[in-house]
Homo-oligomer: A and B are copies of this chain.
Amino acid sequence: MSKYCFGIDLGGTTVKLGLFDLAGNILEKWEIKTRTQDHGSLILPDIAAALKDKMKERKIALEEVAGAGIGVPGPVTEDGTVQMAVNLGWGKFNAEKTFSELTGLKVKVANDANVAALGEMWKGGGEGYSFVTLATLGTGVGGGIILDGKILTGVHGAGAEIGHMHVEEDETEVCGCGGKGCLEQYASATGIARTARKLLETTDKPSVLRNCPEVSAKAVFDAVKAGDELAKEVAEIFGRYLGNAFAVIAAVVDPEIFVIGGGVSKAGEILLTYINKYYQKNAFRGTRDTKFALAKLGNDAGIYGAAKLVL
């Protein structure tokens, strides 16, 4: 009878691994290095060896493991085919099949941002809900949409690529994806800092941010909390783009709750105030009572969600 499962969050430099019981309690977590040489061909064998070592160490038999879930930094289609994962050196292949052959386990593979959303639904900011949209505000903006407890993958594995929603017609700078005017350019940590630098350069307004050696999203929200007017303007711009984007998402998938994660979410409840202001202004009437929450699992969302994939 199965008692355990593994959740694996595969990043470009580190693989995070978690051993869970079937109720979702984490029993142990650890990390290994991601070896990306040889087109990333060592990565899955390395992880398989790590799982086998752990099972040996804890005297866990293969039949006691319900399976292993993996979150991958790239688009993954429903059948576990990774379309591409640039940071791992991977091209297109079925990682589910490969890892299952390596381990003898039931394996599910999905996109890491989607997997994090599943984790936050299971044991984080979206706990108790089954229709959850997660926005991860970090260097970029990632997203995951959970409908009735399941990941919305999309036919190209591009479901919930909310960072690349086109939200600004007049943008002149190019986004990492090659497009212009993507949500990520305004709502990521990088985007918030960019907005702040623009306002600092184009106005004479006094601001504590003028004394910062490096203007970061953290510095902006610290300044907002201290009452800095220019920082508040930056927060309004951030809130307008993200609140409007959530209003649009609500008119498309109509979730129960939006969960905000990633480094920017450390600014806390004040973020929700700015986002919700514009959400209320522009959301379709029927969706205005949708809830907002901060993510709770931090960097562990990936391993939680990956474990949940196989349960």
Chain A contact residues: over half helix, strand or loop, or mixed? Answer: loop
Interface segment, A96-104, A198-206, A252-260?
Answer: A252-260
- CB <8 Å contact, A255 and B155: yes
Decide yes or no whether A128 CB sits under 8 A from chain B. no
- CB <8 Å contact, B159 and A252: yes
- CB <8 Å contact, A156 and B253: no
What is the chain B residue whose CB lies nearest that of A160?
B252
- CB <8 Å contact, B285 and A178: yes
- CB <8 Å contact, A83 and B286: yes
For A255, the chain B residues whose CB sits under 8 A away are 154-155
Q: Whole-angstrom distance from the CB of A170 to the nearest CB of chain B?
A: 11
- CB <8 Å contact, B286 and A165: no
Copies in the complex: 2
- CB <8 Å contact, B251 and A253: no
Q: Whole-angstrom distance from the CB of A12 to the nearest CB of chain B?
A: 19
A234-265: CB near B (< 8 Å → 1, else 0) gives 00000000001001111111111000000000
A157-168: CB near B (< 8 Å → 1, else 0) gives 111111011110
For A160, the chain B residues whose CB sits under 8 A away are 251-252
- CB <8 Å contact, A158 and B287: yes
For A178, the chain B residues whose CB sits under 8 A away are 285
Decide yes or no whether A91 CB sits under 8 A from chain B. no
What is the chain B residue whose CB lies nearest that of A250?
B158
Which of B75, B252, B285, B286 interacts with A253 by CB under 8 Å? B252
Q: How far is the CA of A159 from the CA of B289 in the complex (A)?
A: 14
Decide yes or no whether A94 CB sits under 8 A from chain B. no
Which of B157, B282, B283, B290 interacts with A286 by CB under 8 Å? B157
- CB <8 Å contact, B252 and A252: yes
Which of B83, B147, B179, B244 interacts with A166 by CB under 8 Å? B244
Q: How far is the CA of A250 from the CA of B164 in the complex (A)?
A: 10
Q: How far is the CA of A162 from the CA of B249 in the complex (A)?
A: 9
Decide yes or no whether A5 CB sits under 8 A from chain B. no
Q: Whole-angstrom distance from the CB of A269 to the nearest CB of chain B?
A: 23
What is the chain B residue whose CB lies nearest that of A75?
B286
Q: Whole-angstrom distance from the CB of A133 to the nearest CB of chain B?
A: 9
For A284, the chain B residues whose CB sits under 8 A away are 158, 161, 164, 177, 179
Q: Whole-angstrom distance from the CB of A259 to the nearest CB of chain B?
A: 15
Decide yes or no whether A131 CB sits under 8 A from chain B. yes
For A290, the chain B residues whose CB sits under 8 A away are 155-156
Q: How far is the CA of A159 from the CA of B147 in the complex (A)?
A: 11
Decide yes or no whether A152 CB sits under 8 A from chain B. yes
- CB <8 Å contact, A145 and B286: no
Of the listed residues A152, A155, A157, A179, the one surrounded by the most CB atoms of chain B closer than 10 A to its CB is A155
Contacts from A to B (Cβ < 8 Å): 75, 83, 131, 145, 147, 152-162, 164-167, 169, 177-179, 181, 244, 247-256, 282-287, 289-290
